[in-house]
Chains A and B, each alone.
Chain A
Amino acid sequence: MLRAMGRDKASLDRMTFDNLTGSLLLLLLLVSDLLLCKSVASLPICPSGAVNCQVSLRELFDRAVILSHYIHNLSSEMFNEFDKRYAQGRGFVTKAINSCHTSSLSTPEDKEQAQQIHHEDLLNLILRVLRSWNDPLYHLVSEVRGMQEAPEAILSKAIEIEEQNRRLLEGMEKIVGQVQPRIKENEVYSVWSGLPSLQMADEDSRLFAFYNLLHCLRRDSHKIDNYLKLLKCRIVYDSNC
């Protein structure tokens, strides 16, 4: 349509008509798509259609689920230990409200929403969340190390989570490559800017920054685990786990 900008009026009229037709067609296409897309499961998962694709997808998902489950367990333990050791009586829980850097990512908030999202979108969402945690995890490890009387239990878990997160990201990229190879998404993720908070001189503020980070990590790891299990049952077992 933009090309018509520099033409004469007659051509403009023609263009307008063409534009209308085009938009109508587009509309029709969208509507039909919406109707067809009612059941997301009906979309082909493996574009190539090869048997190997299905089998390896199952293995990839199984492995991814194991990793995500493990990461959430570690995060949960880490949070509980930090809470028990540093956060008692400080009322951090009242302040850790709506303070996660990944809240800008529009993630589904219940089962219905999660089931309505297209698996490709859900996969991409998972990738985004995972990528958003690369940087915070890295700094978490270094800052926990620098903590006074660095708690070994927390530090070791942080290190483990960072490594497993990286592995999960690789696995997810493989899955995405198999499920939707044609779409190459730009790497979108939420930027984390909480590093200065972790390095604050005030101990209370610094501890709260850690608490908040661990709280958000626990939540996001649970989200990823849940989404992956949903996707696995949906894609690999055809919603019949």
Chain B
Amino acid sequence: MSPPGKPEIIKCRSPEKETFTCWWKPGADGGLPTSYTLTYHKEGETLTHECPDYKTGGPNSCYFNKKHTSIWTIYIITINATNQMGSCSSDPRYVDVTYIVEPDPPVNLTLELKQPEDKKPYLWMRWFPPTLVDVRSGWLTLQYEIRLKPEKSAEWEIHFAGQQTQFKILSLYPGQKYLVQVRCKPDHGFWSEWSPESSIQIPNDFTMKDSTVWIFVAVLSAVFCLIMVWAVALKGYSMVSCILPPVPGPKIKGFDTHLLEKGKSEELLSALGCQEFPPTSDCEDLLVEFLEVDDSEDQQLMPAHSKEHPGQGMKPTHLDPDSDSGRGSCDSPSLLSEKCEEPRANPSTFQTPEGIEKPENPPKNVTHTWDPQSTSLEGKIPYFHVDGSKSSTWPLPQPPNQHNFRSSYHNIADICQLATGAAGASATLLDKTDKHAFKSSKTIETGAEGKAAEQREVESFPSKTDQDRAWLPPQEKTPFLSVKALDYVEIHKVNKDGALSLLPKQKENSDQTEKPSTPETSKEYAKVSQVTDNNILVLTQDPRAPNLALFEEQAKEAPPSLPQNQAQIDLASFTAPPGNCRLQLGGLDYLDPAGFMHSFQ
């Protein structure tokens, strides 16, 4: 027998924000019948009220109806337990109806299987808000959630439905029985309980048409992928090369780099398209006519303008737009002249420092060591800027004739040059070389030393790689040309290598070209060593003289080692002396005066 224990308010809840109910838990009753009362007072009021309804909410509850419910007001609620021995009050509980809203579950959940004709079948469910909640006036706004599962499954699949009161389910397993439930939540309240389960049986023939189609598609694509993989595996490379063709390396049609390495310049050059140098028919003419030295200012060796050797194995690259058409190689000062356009072959034409520049790093190569740094330079006949040398007969860059003939002419001219002053020529070349390129040459110019140097270098020259050798001709031409436009070239001999050796006839030329005296005297012209079958005029340098460029077009025999006095000149390349005649030298940039010098030596 004791006073009752302290009761405790468990929960207060409003289902629609218009009424609310509170439940309490009684404490120990002390062995005596205990009565409980609920008292409360509202915020802002001093009056204490008692619970208006103990019944509606069940035992130990208090129901506040609409009249007694105020929203946005705090209720201070207390439970009083009283028995014979005494009474006890609970702690006051502060309740604001605004925040205790928990509605009833939605009602009337209906399920329906719908199978429209040209659409996928689905499960359609529909429900209604709990009866007490006033949604229409907007007093409460409800959001819904549904969940479903096959009967035997343990996991529920939950979907949020927003404020709508219906929902569609698309993915269902046929032949299963599904259970569905729905619940709701007010805009600022708690979730309701789940509604009672509704069930529906999915018929066995619930179509899976879409699945079949997709399975089919998936299988097809898998097969396709397998085939692709297999094809790639088998022919991977060819496919790849088909899709991504390899980038072709630069090639000259018909040009075999291996030949170059081997030194088979003849074949090489023939591959490059030099044909018939010199043209057979015209060959003799060339030899005859173009060997005449013209004393005129023009220094045109050749009167044979007419002798335009069209396309004698000229490489297109050799075409120089020299307006001196028809001039022979020997006399074409323009050959070496920078001004290709000018009909005159001036020694000044020689001077093409620019032309000289054309070959890459001519100075370097020319200077000092004839070192085969630039393969292109080696063996190339340097374009010399023969200052004022009338005999700008270096048929270097600009053969008087354009295009093809040039090459042939040049060759001749080169021969002339060679003849006129092989040694000197080289020296001259060196002398005349443009300052840029041939500064070094000056070192060589100095007379004998130069010559000796040249000799040395010449000797070293052959040691150059064959490759250099191969490119000799182009440059070599220039030296020849630059020797003297007015020199007669005497065909001295044709050595075994097929080198055309020409003997320069005049010494004055050499003077003019500022060649060192010594070289002049000793200069030798290249000798035509032979004319090969394919119209190759092979010039060889006079042994005494520094190497002479040898003309050789499509030299069948690659000059493996260039004899000191020999240099093989590629006619084609000859025609396009590097740089001097900038104009259309095209691909003869590699022709370097320095190389020419080499050749001479």
The reply on B176 being an interface residue by CB < 8 A is no
Q: Which of A103, A111, A222 contacts B134 (CB 8 A)?
A: A111
The reply on A180 being an interface residue by CB < 8 A is no
B 135-177 contacts with A by CB, 8 A: 135-139, 141
Q: Which of A73, A103, A110, A239 contacts B137 (CB 8 A)?
A: A239
The reply on A94 being an interface residue by CB < 8 A is yes
Digitize A71-87: 1 where CB-to-B-CB distance is under 8 Å, 0 elsewhere: 01100100000000000
The reply on A241 being an interface residue by CB < 8 A is yes
Digitize A208-227: 1 where CB-to-B-CB distance is under 8 Å, 0 elsewhere: 00000000000100110110
Contacts of A241 in B (CB 8 A): 135-138, 141
Chain B contact residues, majority secondary structure? loop
Contacts of A110 in B (CB 8 A): 18, 66, 69-71
Contacts of B44 in A (CB 8 A): 97-98, 103
Residue on A with the closest CB to B138?
A233
Q: Select the residue from A98, A103, A234, A239 with max chain B CB neighbours within 10 A.
A: A98
CA distance A73 to B138 in the complex (A): 18
Q: Which of A76, A223, A232 contacts B72 (CB 8 A)?
A: A223
B 26-48 contacts with A by CB, 8 A: 43-44
Known: A69-B187, A109-B70, A109-B71. A234 touches B94 (CB 8 A): no
CA distance A237 to B137 in the complex (A): 9
Task: Decide if B139 touches A230 in the complex (CB within 8 Å).
Answer: yes
The reply on A119 being an interface residue by CB < 8 A is no
Contacts of B69 in A (CB 8 A): 110
CA distance A97 to B72 in the complex (A): 12
The reply on A115 being an interface residue by CB < 8 A is yes
- The tally of residues in A whose CB lies under 8 Å from a CB in B reads 31
Task: Decide if A111 touches B17 in the complex (CB within 8 Å).
Answer: yes
Digitize A46-69: 1 where CB-to-B-CB distance is under 8 Å, 0 elsewhere: 000000000000000000000001
Digitize B4-37: 1 where CB-to-A-CB distance is under 8 Å, 0 elsewhere: 0000000000000110000000000000000000
CA distance A109 to B135 in the complex (A): 18
A 124-180 contacts with B by CB, 8 A: none
* Smallest CB separation, B534 vs chain A (Å): 93
CA distance A232 to B96 in the complex (A): 25
The reply on A190 being an interface residue by CB < 8 A is no
Give the interface of A toward B (CB within 8 A): 69, 72-73, 76, 93-94, 97-98, 103, 107, 109-112, 114-115, 219, 222-223, 225-226, 229-234, 237, 239-241
Task: Decide if B188 touches A72 in the complex (CB within 8 Å).
Answer: yes
CA distance A107 to B66 in the complex (A): 17
Task: Decide if A229 touches B141 in the complex (CB within 8 Å).
Answer: yes
Residue on B with the closest CB to A109?
B70
CA distance A230 to B139 in the complex (A): 6
The reply on B87 being an interface residue by CB < 8 A is no
CA distance A111 to B69 in the complex (A): 10
Contacts of B137 in A (CB 8 A): 111, 115, 230, 233-234, 239, 241
CA distance A103 to B72 in the complex (A): 10
Q: Which of B43, B71, B135, B187 contacts A98 (CB 8 A)?
A: B43
Contacts of B136 in A (CB 8 A): 233, 239-241
CA distance A237 to B96 in the complex (A): 30
Residue on A with the closest CB to B134?
A111
Task: Decide if A97 touches B74 in the complex (CB within 8 Å).
Answer: yes
* Smallest CB separation, B43 vs chain A (Å): 5
Contacts of B138 in A (CB 8 A): 229-234, 237, 239, 241
* Smallest CB separation, A15 vs chain B (Å): 47
* Smallest CB separation, A1 vs chain B (Å): 40
**9 tightest Cβ-Cβ pairs between the two chains A and B:** A233-B138, A229-B138, A98-B44, A109-B70, A230-B138, A241-B138, A111-B139, A97-B43, A98-B43
The reply on B73 being an interface residue by CB < 8 A is yes
Q: Which of B76, B98, B139, B187 contacts A219 (CB 8 A)?
A: B98
Task: Decide if A222 touches B70 in the complex (CB within 8 Å).
Answer: no
* Smallest CB separation, B93 vs chain A (Å): 10
